[in-house]
Amino acid sequence: MSAPGHGLLPAHIVVRARDLIRVLRAAGDDMDSVLHLRLDTQGVRTFHTRLPAKILDSHSSRAQANIAALAASLRTNPARLGLGQTAAEILGTGARWRDFIRPSGGEPQRIASTLRALIGRGAGTTPAGDDFLVGMLACIWSMQGQCAPLIRALRAMAPELETLTTTTGATYLRAATRGEFGSHLLVWVRALPQVSRARALALAERVASHGATSGYDALTGFIAAAEAVRDHAGS
């Protein structure tokens, strides 16, 4: 569950307020039972916050301008993100993230090795490394689609994700390989080819507001992937 206006997450359960109040009243002072609720979702209506594949054309001048505007904004942010560096440091020339995002392919073992070093890195229910990777996957999915080497490599690692990160982090990463992302991130990505610079930055601020650094980590991952794709396309 999230506060009003924060959007839906890939693994999101919507509970009517009156139903939650009834459960809390029944629990009384036994908060331990509330914290360990199990929900039977069999037969309930489900929905997915899915991002259309390849909706960002690398030749879309407006999308690229909006991505560049966010990149410039992130680089001026002096705060250290969840990965222990500023966005400018993470996105710096020669950053390791550029080396394994190759639209035409890459060494599967090298990609998997880099992913293992990133997944689960940092504290939190969703570690910063996972948030960063979710942002990268949103970019790759929207630019290259489900057959991108990075997405294929992460899918192959699905059985070991639970040993690398938290249950929530693993759930988010699996969802991302299916093109499912939080609605706040999805809305921003879908808007990139259509909205003004000011609107794109405003929507990015909504993404950034999630968690202590989760939103910023995801946005930085998106920019890291976008710039890697651009660099490889130009080489």
User: Which ranges constitute the DSSP H helices of 76-213?
Assistant: 87-90, 108-118, 128-144, 149-156, 161-164, 167-176, 183-191, 197-208
Q: Which residues of 121-156 are buried (b: 16+ CB within 10 A; e: fewer)?
A: bbebebbbbbbbbbbbbbbbbbbbeeebbbbebbee
Does the reported pTM lie above 0.85?
A: no
Give the span between the Cα atoms of 204 and 214, in whole angstroms: 12
Q: Token match 């790759």: residue?
A: 140
**What pLDDT, on a 0 to 100 scale, did the predictor assign at position 19?**
75
Q: Give me the residues of the chain with pLDDT under 50, please.
A: 1-6, 103-104
The residues spanned by each domain of the chain are 50-234
Q: What is the pLDDT of residue 72?
A: 97
**pLDDT of res. 60:** 84
Tokens 């609107």 belong to residue:
199
The phi, psi pair for 210, rounded to 5°, reads: -80, 125
